[in-house]
A and B are shown apart, each in its own frame.
Chain A
Amino acid sequence: MFIVGFLARRLAQGAVIVFLVSFLIFTLLRVIPGDPVRLMAGGMAPDELIEQIAADMGLRDPIPVQFARYMGGVMRGDLGQSFVRPASGAAVGGAQFDDATRAERARVLSLIAETAPMTVQLALLSMVFALLIATPIGVAGGLYPGRWPDKLALYLGSLFVSLPNFWLGIVLVLLLSVNLRLLPAIGYQGFAWTILPAIVLAIEIAPFLIRTLTVSVAQIMRENFIAAATVRGLGRGRIVVAHALKNAAVPLLNLLGVQFSMLLGGVLVIEFIFDYPGLGLLTINAVLQRDFPLIQGIAIVTSAAFVLINIAVDLAATAIDPRLDY
């Protein structure tokens, strides 16, 4: 019964957040200068034609009217059609405008559905790498506060967080792909193409995991139940793994929820550098082409993902530590 109430409350709050996000993005896109119709129709199109197309597409209606129409579509599961992308093949620039092809423009929902799994794959692999890097360093730092493992965690954390992701990506491509020919880098033709971007992303996330682990492990090791476990005759390894790590997992999970947007930001840049066909690359192209429906669709999907991940994080945290109450 608890779980039903919890889910209902959080989903309702989440719906409000997603609504606010879509309203914010929708308004911002229309308030700031930059006319998508000009981009679609091309620089040579006469002004009357531009006005006519814009009016046909409903882009000259008042913003609340446009928003209501858009949200009506979203409620029915229709995120609209891309302004510029045809249903098949690559995006076309606005060299000339041909109204006959309007019907064949790609649906926003299917564009997102095609690219999202690629991004999820990249994000999950990088989380695995990040945990592999951060767990030994962070736990060691937390077990010996003030001693060299702690210093090492501090210095490595500062080092990793100071590496600009796009620069690291370029340097690793130069070293590992061009010079040593160890890993493929640009584009996507198989799972191997995910590894290098995932490493770069992992190094971007790792410092936050290291810091959280160091602090929480150090805190937990001072608790009474750790001292009591020694008295009960448990070995050190068992205490660290079964008691300290299990409790340190909760702040780590919370971090995942909070830093989700940072992860997405990293994905965006890294997909752009590696030309990795995921949601991030789609977003950047959508922005550069002023593809309003696509930007809105992506904003709605990502904020919904943010809400759902945070709910999942809280549920998982309660499962690990039943004392927590949300």
Chain B
Amino acid sequence: MAILDADIPAAADDGARRSIARRIAAGAWASTEFKVGLFVFTALLLAALIYPEVSSLDPTRMNVRGRNTPPVFVGEGWSWAHPLGTDQLGRDMLLRSLVGLRYSLLIGVSTVILMLFVGSIVGLFAGYRGGLTDTVLMRITDAQLSIPMIILAIAILGVSRPTIPAIILVLGLSGWPVYARVMRSVVMAERKKEYVRGARVLGASDGRIMFRLILPLALPPIAFVAVLDVARMMIFESVLGFLGLGVQPPTPTFGNIIADGRKFLINAWWIATLPGVFLFVTLGSLNLMGAALERSRNRVYGGLS
């Protein structure tokens, strides 16, 4: 984008001349659902970053006397000290959920960045080079696309030790094929355009054309919609935790809290359900932002919603 922006004075504000990335962002910002999503998400993010630091409680310290305290206004014996109640070992649920949210976001965001990186590079080379490179890369992509991602992930994490980098690597490396396909189709369309031919006549190298001209144009529309995948990866992370293949206890994550709480569903329903509400609200805010960005992108490209 930097190349394009430099040539255009800031005053040129009419729709057609602003960069595509800015038009998509502005279009999304205009919608209510994006603002709602952003507001909720920011609030949750701040809570996850600040509350565990200032709270005097410890997410892993047990307090057997105060176990199974219900959340506020529910049942008997609730207290403001534990707004979401405590679990079977007396650990504060709000704190555990927020720490879980930290890990979930960390893994979700890093995974998507990795997916985007690998997918874009593969798609860029396949689309730009064409021919044999294209055939080989795309057959590999198809093969990987036909293994259900979750089977691959549990197959690897089930036999090796699930650490955070391993989880990010496995999820990221099993999720890139979709990005590679989209990137390839965009690049194939761009490659034939006038400005690429012009750059080549001027003597630009392939690397320069790919990374300085095509990538800045092709990446933002894909990257914006990747917000939806952050939510999807957060679900995957919690599924892995639920199966016991995610971040290992005592570190709390949504998956392992819910898996633990499932055993106490009848006596203490809040242990399994409330972290899920937390996760659901977070994912909801991300998905609203993602959906608004996607619609805005479609409007920018298709002219209509």
Contact = CB atoms under 8 A, between A and B. Distances in A.
Contacts of B125: none
A165 B140 CA distance: 29
A9 interface: no
A146 interface: yes
**Most chain-B CB neighbours within 10 Å: which of A166, A218, A264, A265?**
A166
A29 B152 CA distance: 10
Contacts of A17: 139, 142-143, 146
A166 B154 contact: no
A125 interface: no
A33 B159 contact: yes
Interface of B: 33, 139-140, 142-152, 154-156, 158-161, 228, 231, 235, 238-239, 242-243, 254-255, 258, 262, 265-266, 269, 272-273, 276, 279-280, 283-284, 286-288, 291, 295, 298, 304-305
A89 interface: no
A156 to B, nearest CB: 11
A162 B230 CA distance: 11
Contacts of A307: 146
A269 B156 contact: no
Given A157-B291, A222-B304, A302 B151 contact: yes
A288 B146 CA distance: 22
B235 A164 contact: yes
Interface residues of A, number: 54
Interface in A14-34: 16-18, 20-21, 24-25, 28-29, 32-34
A287 interface: yes
A118 interface: no
Contacts of B150: 264-265, 268-269
A218 B304 CA distance: 10
A221 B265 CA distance: 48
Contact of A170 (B161, B273, B305): B273
B258 to A, nearest CB: 6
B143 A24 contact: yes
B244 to A, nearest CB: 8
9 contacts: A17-B139, A32-B156, A33-B160, A34-B160, A161-B228, A164-B235, A164-B239, A165-B239, A287-B154
Given A170-B276, A290-B159, A20 B140 contact: yes
Contact of B147 (A16, A157, A262, A303): A303
Given A17-B139, A34-B160, A218 B288 contact: no
A21 B147 CA distance: 7
Interface string A203-214: 000000000000
A148 interface: no
A307 B139 CA distance: 13
A261 B160 contact: no
A16 B139 contact: yes
Nearest to B305: A145
A171 B276 contact: yes
Given A24-B147, A161-B231, A164-B280, A178 B33 contact: no
B266 A162 contact: no
A261 B155 CA distance: 15
Given A20-B139, A162-B287, A164-B239, A268 B148 contact: yes
Interface in A75-122: none
B291 A20 contact: no
Nearest to A204: B235
A167 interface: yes
Contacts of A306: 146
A99 to B, nearest CB: 24
Contacts of A173: 265
Contact of B279 (A28, A167, A262, A299): A167
Contacts of B152: 25
Contacts of A18: 146
A28 B151 CA distance: 12
A178 B266 contact: yes
Nearest to B235: A164
A262 B262 CA distance: 24
Name which of B144, B161, B287 has the most chain A CB atoms within 10 A of its CB.
Answer: B287
Interface in A217-264: 218, 222, 261-262, 264
Given A28-B155, A269-B239, A287-B158, A218 B305 contact: yes
